[in-house]
Each structure stands twice: as C-alpha cells, then as structure tokens.
Amino acid sequence: MLNEFCTELNLYASARHSRNEIDYTYNFAMKRFNSLDQFIMSSVLFDSAVGDLRVQHDADNLSDHDPIFIGLSLSSNIHAMSDKIYHAKVAWRKCTDADLTHGNFLSVLLRDVHLPVDALQCRNPLCVNSEHVSYIHRYATYLIEACLAAAERVLPKTNQGHSNRKPGWDEFVRPAREKSLFWHDIWSHAACPRTCVLADIMRRTRAAYHYAIRRIKKERDNIVKQVCYCDAWQQKSGFLGRSS
C-alpha cells in the first residue's frame, strides 16, 4: 500500500535509499522488531540531497517507536543562533496568603507617588484639559510600576534548575535507569543480538526502568506526602535532640 501511494504521487520512501542505515524503528517488548517509520520525500530530495538516514535506539525512550533522523544537503542562508534565555516568572503555586496580602513594601512605594488632585476631582465627563489627561496617565503608570516592583520583591519566582524534577526519581528511578543504560550499552556494542542471555538481561532491566517511571507518575502524590513526612520528622527529631 505504501509503495502504491508513493508511485501514484511520485514520492520515495527512505527505506529504499542506498544510505539507509536503519535496522528497525519499532519493537514489541524488545522481542519482535520491524521498520515501520519512514521519511517520504520527492525525487529531487531522494536523488541529490540525502546525506544520511539513521535511527536512535535509546533505553530512555518510553515509546515502542524509536526516533529516526535524516540529514539533507541543501543550500540555504546561515542564521545566527543564540542560547535560550530563561526568564523567571511568578510561582503562584508557591504563594502563601501572607505573600498575597503583604502590602508593606507596596505602601512604601506608593508614598512617593504624587496624587493629581485637580485631575481626579474634575467632574467634567467631556474634559479635554491636556494637563488632566497627562496627570492621569502618569498617575496610572506610577501605580502599575509600583505594583510590579512590589510583586518582584515579595512574590516567589520559578526556578530553572528544578523545573523538571520529579518526586521519587532519585529514590526509585535513578538506580533502575543506570542499570538499564549499562546493559543496553553492552547489548548495543554486541551488535544487538535478539536471542541470548544478554538480550534477556537488557529486556528485564529496561522493563524495570520503564516500570519505575510509570510508578512515580502514578504514585506522585503519595511519594510527595512520604517525603514531606520524613522531612518533618527529621526536623522534629533534631529539635527534640537540641532541647534535650
């Protein structure tokens, strides 16, 4: 069916290219393997632009499908790239009632704001006094800047270093991951045998690693409660120890 589709539209599948180095793209429990994923391209790209076709077999991949890559030799303009710049944001989930109602710093900033009494007391709904309009805009700008400055000073911010941390990762997942990567690397260097003791060990450690990930996702709330309870108990024990 794929061949008929490509023939009708004058397209070519990457598996037919001479530079294709993909052995398999899909596995079922690392026991049955097949090449299901393809790049479909025009005849121009197929004949003159393909540099390499490869697949990445990674033990960290939780999917049954492995990612495939294609390198194309194309003439194009070079654009400068820069590293992604991290901008901290307000971490609303970390805000306490005290943070949200803390107005001391804001009050200090508002003391320096000049109140445009004449403009505020103007009762003319059709006022076209340019000074009144200017005073009102300036007053509003000062209020906004004061609120933003107070929020920047008082409210907690997001942290780039811990944004992707998962509760229970170090305790349950990291040991299984290290073992899985170790045996997967040995299996890969042995030319990926399908039926042997080494392949069985690779499958077991990979399954244990992926199971650990599913476990912490499923039991995330319970793990967080356990960690918080242990921290609170340690703090309490330390306090009692100092008191004695």
Mean pLDDT score of the chain: 83
Q: Residue 68 burial by CB count (10 A; 0-12/13-18/19+): exposed, middle or buried? A: middle
Tell me which residue has tokens 């042997």: 196
Instruction: Out of 54-68, 96-110, 127-141, 167-181, pick the least confident.
Output: 96-110
Mean pLDDT, residues 229-235: 59
Please name the residue that has the structure tokens 């943070």: 99
How many beta carbons lie within 10 A of that of residue 169, not counting itself? 15
Residue 109 has pLDDT above 60, yes or no: yes
> What per-residue confidence (pLDDT) applies to 192?
87
* Residues 33-46, mean pLDDT to the nearest whole number: 90
- Please tell me whether residues 123 and 171 are part of one structural domain: no
**Assigned domain for 58 exists:** yes
Task: Say whether pLDDT at 217 is over 70.
Answer: yes
Question: Rounded mean pLDDT of 195-205?
Answer: 91
240 pLDDT above the threshold of 80:
no
Tell me the C-alpha distance between 150 and 126, whole Å: 35
149 with 167, same domain: the answer is no
Among 10, 39, 72, where does a domain finish? Answer: 72
Write out the residue range of the structural domain in which residue 196 sits: 163-243
Number of domains in the chain: 3
Same domain, 113 and 68: no
Question: What's CA 105's distance to the chain center, in Å?
Answer: 34
Inside any domain, residue 79: no
How many Å apart are CA 49 and CA 68, to the nearest integer? 17
Name which of 36-40, 89-93, 201-205 the model is least confident about: 89-93
Asked whether residue 86 is domain-assigned, the answer is no
User: What average pLDDT does this structure show over 230-238?
Assistant: 58
Residue 77 resides in a domain: no
CA–CA distance, 137 with 131 (Å, rounded to integer):
10
pLDDT of residue 65: 93
Query: 173 with 62: CB under 8 angstroms?
Result: no
Of 137, 154, 171, which residue sits at a domain end?
Answer: 154
Give the domain-ending residue among 154, 184, 199: 154
